[in-house]
């Protein structure tokens, strides 16, 4: 699952190549739009919205795509060899004199009227990297379901748009709560939302989803992807478990010492297995 900062960068790359250019070729390899004739239209802009990409075309049309698990857009200069995967994985090709954008393994390729974009992205909560970012509204949406586990609530794009599994894990760590902690038990939800914005913003122009401030490989995250390795802060081994209901389940990572709150049975040894954070986070700095 891509994080919002990856989608932001993909949109910027596409925008640099396509915006202002006339499509010399356009090929949408999905049954619904296989015959769409887009060549000759000018690309107005490519805009990210949460994890969605909106390629707006002259004539009031928008190409809506989503990367989901392993989709990606590649950009090639004229004459450059395409290397993003086998040809049968290509879902969209947008060619211009400046370069060609090729969409591989895109699970969502949808052509709609620009006026109808809300149908595709209207369900999204405030966009962490959007010009209309609204932290108060994001907190309001999170708080509307106080019994939800915080990691699941952060991943729900209807609450706030842009968080994937990396940031969900890292934000819980930085908040000092386990991923299963209920939203209503969060000591400072507004500070958590603010931190989410800071992290995505800091990473919007670089790869790696770095949350520690340390860009070295193996040092970029506190707990994400570090199962069985020592927590960088306290040395306790980082734990991992499935969270959520299939097929929406994901791998959760947490440090049983630095993060308080419930954790699943079977993660025995956590001193805080069934503990709930007390008022004000029980004296532990809640969000760093």
Catalytic residues: 2-3, 51, 250
Q: Is 284 in the site for Zn ion (CB under 5 A)?
A: no
Apex CA 282: angle with CA 280 and CA 287, to 5°? 60
Output 64 or 239, the one with its CB closest to Zn ion.
239
Touching Zn ion, residues 29-48 (CB under 5 A): none
Q: Is 257 in the site for Zn ion (CB under 5 A)?
A: yes
Output 76 or 257, the one with its CB closest to Zn ion.
257
Q: Site for Zn ion (CB under 5 A): which residue of 22, 39, 115, 234?
A: 234
- The CB-of-285 to Zn ion minimum distance in angstroms stands at 13
How far, in Å, are 28, 89, 222, 258, 287 from residue 238 at the CA level?
44, 36, 9, 10, 19
CB 21 within 8 A of CB 43: yes
By beta carbon distance, the residue nearest Zn ion is 231
- The CB-of-221 to Zn ion minimum distance in angstroms stands at 13
Token digits for 170? 């890292």
- The CB-of-273 to Zn ion minimum distance in angstroms stands at 15
Q: Site for Zn ion (CB under 5 A): which residue of 63, 102, 196, 255?
A: 255
Q: From CA 179, how far away is CA 210, in angstroms rounded? A: 19
- The CB-of-230 to Zn ion minimum distance in angstroms stands at 8
- The CB-of-223 to Zn ion minimum distance in angstroms stands at 8
- Contact partners, residue 30, CB within 8 Å, separation at least 6: 91, 92, 109
- The CB-of-240 to Zn ion minimum distance in angstroms stands at 14
Output 23 or 223, the one with its CB closest to Zn ion.
223
Q: Site for Zn ion (CB under 5 A): which residue of 18, 258, 263, 287?
A: 258
Q: Which string of x and - marks every residue 179-218 that binds Zn ion (by CB under 5 A)?
A: ----------------------------------------
Output 188 or 257, the one with its CB closest to Zn ion.
257
Q: What are phi and psi of 253, to 5 degrees?
A: -125, 140
**Residue 259's closest CA among 243, 276, 247?**
276
Surface-to-core class of residue 32, CB atoms within 10 Å of its CB (0-12 exposed, 13-18 middle, 19+ buried) = exposed
Helix/strand/coil (H/E/C) assignment for every residue in 174-205: HHCECCCCEHHHCCCHHHHHHHHHHHHHHCCC
Q: Site for Zn ion (CB under 5 A): which residue of 29, 98, 145, 233?
A: 233
Touching Zn ion, residues 213-232 (CB under 5 A): 231
CB 159 within 8 A of CB 141: yes
Q: Which residue has the tokens 């209309």?
A: 132
Q: Which positions lie near Zn ion, rule CB under 5 A?
A: 231, 233-234, 236, 255, 257-258
């Amino acid at each position: 699952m891509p994080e919002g900062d990856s989608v932001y960068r993909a949109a910027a790359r596409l925008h640099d190549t396509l915006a202002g250019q006339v499509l010399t070729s356009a090929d949408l390899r999905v049954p619904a739009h296989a015959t769409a004739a887009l060549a000759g239209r000018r690309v107005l802009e490519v805009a990210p919205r949460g994890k969605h990409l909106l390629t707006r075309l002259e004539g009031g049309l928008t190409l809506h795509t989503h990367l989901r698990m392993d989709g990606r857009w590649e950009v090639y200069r004229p004459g450059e060899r395409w290397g993003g995967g086998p040809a049968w994985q290509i879902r969209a090709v947008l060619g211009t004199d400046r370069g060609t954008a090729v969409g591989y393994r895109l699970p969502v390729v949808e052509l709609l009227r620009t006026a109808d974009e809300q149908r595709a992205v209207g369900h999204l909560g405030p966009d962490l990297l959007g010009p209309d970012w609204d932290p108060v509204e994001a907190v309001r949406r999170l708080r509307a379901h106080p019994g939800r586990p915080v990691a699941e609530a952060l991943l729900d794009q209807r609450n706030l748009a842009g968080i994937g599994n990396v940031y969900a894990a890292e934000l819980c760590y930085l908040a000092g709560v386990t991923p299963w902690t209920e939203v209503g038990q969060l000591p400072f939800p507004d500070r958590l939302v603010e931190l989410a914005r800071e992290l995505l913003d800091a990473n919007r122009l670089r790869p790696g989803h770095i949350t520690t401030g340390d860009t070295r490989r193996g040092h970029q995250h506190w707990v994400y992807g570090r199962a069985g390795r020592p927590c960088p802060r306290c040395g306790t081994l980082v734990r991992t478990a499935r969270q959520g209901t299939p097929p929406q389940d994901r791998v959760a990572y947490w440090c049983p010492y630095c993060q308080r709150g419930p954790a699943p049975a079977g993660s025995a040894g956590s001193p805080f297995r069934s503990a709930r954070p007390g008022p004000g986070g029980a004296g532990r700095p809640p969000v760093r």
